[in-house]
Chain A
Amino acid sequence: MMTEILEPTSRTQSADQAVLEVKGLDVDIRTPKGIVRVVSQVGFSARRGKTLALLGESGCGKSMTAKAIAGLLDPVASVAGGVARLDSKDLLSMTAKQRRKAAGEGLGIVFQDALAALNPVYTIGTQLGEAFRIHRGASRKQAKVEAIELMRRVGIPEPETRVNSYPHQFSGGMRQRILIAMAVALSPNLLIADEPTTALDVTVQAQIMQLLRNLREQEDMAVVLITHDLAVVAEEADDVCVMYAGNVAEQGSVDTVFTRPTHPYTKGLLSSVPTDSQRGAGLNSIPGSPPELSKIPSGCVYQDRCPLVAAVCREQRPALRETGPGQSAACHFAEQVATSQTTEERLAVGDDEK
């Protein structure tokens, strides 16, 4: 059914730089109607000191991928295959205890909803200090000192007094800073940020992005940024992995993928962003909507919305293959997408959701 998948790491990204390497990741969800594959053969690598964006719409499997790597899947979901090597140790084949130990110091994660991610009945100081108590065997007193230092690093004013406050006493932006502080507490090599600014206002989003950038540089971490916002990817990420319906549609450096997309989905997404040149005019839109994960067609997952669809797309799922230097896409007609001038117009034709 599936053909051989290309290694996501290209020659330009030397393996020693890769902090996280994910290959052939499959995640299944048990539903009353049977098992549904929500992440299928996903692979990418995150490099030290660089940001990799996992880009996609809701339900495309980007958060599920992150949760699988961090070992935080819901009980109904399970990893069905693949490897996720963090500093060359496979997180997916470890026991839960081993993984907690490896992930605690190696991997930090920031969630979208900071209020839900914090425990309302413990002070911020207790929650920030927990990592030091568990992994470093710090005393309560030492942990509090570390917590204050962390708060200072992420720009929370008056950390000495605020350390005794509870999550609800902070604003949304400050809570997100606390989550970031918690994630970088043990100086991990990898930081996963799952839509870290989606719930925040524009001016606060800019602050949080700046903080993440600074921390990445100071710590020389690899950052995996999960987002649906193309503009954020364009500004913050070095590499991008575009996901659609649980599969990788295209990946490569942001510069190449955004200037010369080789998958019709990437191209369609890029042209649906409102820009000045189209003011008042109709926007290019992708017809239809993403498929339900239980009803993913055999063959190419994008076939029902694709302007270039042909018989081969209905029969055979395209494998991820190299389409340019350090760029790969899962499309039978990648070369055509990259060169055709008319794709955009053809993409713009359909404006019906059927």
Chain B
Amino acid sequence: MSTVLEVQDLAKTFHVASGAAGTRELKALDGINLSVKRGETLGLVGESGCGKSTLARTLMMLEQPDGGTVRFDGQDPFALRGKQLLAWRRRVQMVFQDPFASLNARMSAGQIITEPFATHKDLYPSAAARKQRLNELLDLVGLRATDADKSPQEFSGGQRQRIGIARALALGPDLIILDEPVSALDLSVQAQVLNLLNDLQQQLGVSYIFISHDLSVVRHVTDRVAVMYLGRIIETGSTEQVFDSPLHPYTASLMSASPKLDPALRPVNRIVLQGELPSPLDPPSGCRFRTRCWKAQPICSAERPESRTREAGGKILLGMPGDSVNAGQQFAECHFPVESAAEAGLAVSA
């Protein structure tokens, strides 16, 4: 599988007004490495304020990064201008969280879905071609051709999200960033939209970055997962590795704390973290998670941890920073990674 997107050391700092003293720096992204392969779904999880949305916005070129590189099929989108930039924009699209706020109430569903063609005029130059493409898109997301003339208010939440997905698909993108695409939907409708996303990926081979705080959904739809904490990806790996044998204590506590429907999957000793996410304006020194970590030692406040990985035999080794981008292996930034399911608070009674 070829790589669609590769991000290295991506950094974004905001300057936040802080009284008379001027501004303070908020490092929203602090050295992000990630990659997305063609046709793959990468899950991005983390608590609110960890930088997930800033990352999504930066990848959409809605924010200018302060450092690091973004390579989209080997191209740096931030270096593109004019026509090339316009061509690039077709390839990355986004679906937003709230289908009630993200659709213009004064436009019909058809107008919303075909609006991108007004910017990308050469794609479907004739009205007939646009109309045909619109019908294709409606069919693709499971709406009727007659729905094109209705306004967003006439649709239910799930159908609105289908309109949002059709709009994202309109230009034939290679990558769609899905920012909490189902969290505003009711459970019974959520499953319909997740199934649709899955079908579309198989039909079109599009890659997804799936941002969500719902771990059971992430587990269901993603191939790989990156866990963010205060502007850094602190663990990454295949979905199975990250969920079943997390290395980072934070990942372990997330997995352990999420409520489980099936009593058989409920951990015997649930990890309930103390405290809350520290302010990103004043992140802890060394390891960012140390203030809430039950394994913290003096070294954790003195030194930023390097990435570690787990060998096939279960042995934990120091990994090379940056490797996590390509190797598809599990990496975590921690001085004292979690070694077993019991320690991860994931052991269940047999």
**Chain A residues proximal to chain B, CB less than 8 Å:** 57-58, 171-174, 201-207, 209-210, 228-232, 234-236, 258, 268-270, 272-276, 278-280, 282-287, 289-290, 305, 351-354
Contact = CB atoms under 8 A, between A and B. Distances in A.
A285 B191 contact: yes
19 contacts: A57-B186, A171-B276, A174-B276, A203-B257, A203-B273, A205-B257, A209-B259, A228-B187, A234-B259, A235-B266, A268-B188, A272-B191, A274-B217, A280-B220, A282-B199, A283-B220, A287-B192, A352-B142, A353-B189
Contact of A210 (B189, B191, B272): B272
B260 interface: yes
Interface string B175-191: 00000000000111111
Interface string B194-236: 1100110000000000000101110111000000000000000
A202 B220 contact: no
Contacts of B157: 289
B261 interface: yes
Nearest to B215: A202
Given A235-B266, A268-B188, A283 B273 contact: no
Question: Ordered nearest first, which 6 A-B pairs have the shortest CB separation?
Answer: A285-B191, A274-B220, A231-B259, A206-B257, A57-B186, A201-B47
A236 B270 CA distance: 14
Given A207-B273, A282-B198, A235 B259 contact: yes
A284 B189 CA distance: 10
A16 to B, nearest CB: 30
Given A201-B48, A207-B272, A207-B273, A234 B188 contact: no
B102 to A, nearest CB: 18
Nearest to A60: B186
A173 B156 contact: no
Contacts, number: 129
B277 interface: yes
Given A234-B263, A280-B198, 13 more contacts: A201-B47, A202-B47, A203-B292, A204-B47, A206-B257, A206-B273, A269-B188, A272-B191, A273-B261, A275-B262, A285-B192, A286-B189, A354-B144
Interface in B240-294: 253-254, 257-263, 265-266, 270, 272-274, 276-277, 292
Size class of the B contact interface (CB-based, 8 Å): 35 or more
A91 to B, nearest CB: 30
B3 interface: no
Contact of A274 (B158, B162, B216): B216
A203 B187 contact: no
B191 A283 contact: yes
Contact of A201 (B159, B186, B277): B277
Nearest to B45: A202
Contacts of A354: 144
Contacts of A270: 261
B258 A202 contact: yes
Contacts of B259: 205, 209, 229, 231-232, 234-236
A286 B191 contact: yes
A172 to B, nearest CB: 8
A234 B198 contact: no
A251 to B, nearest CB: 18
B135 to A, nearest CB: 17
Contact of B187 (A235, A269, A275): A269
Contacts of B48: 201
Nearest to A210: B272
Contact of A283 (B142, B194, B254): B194
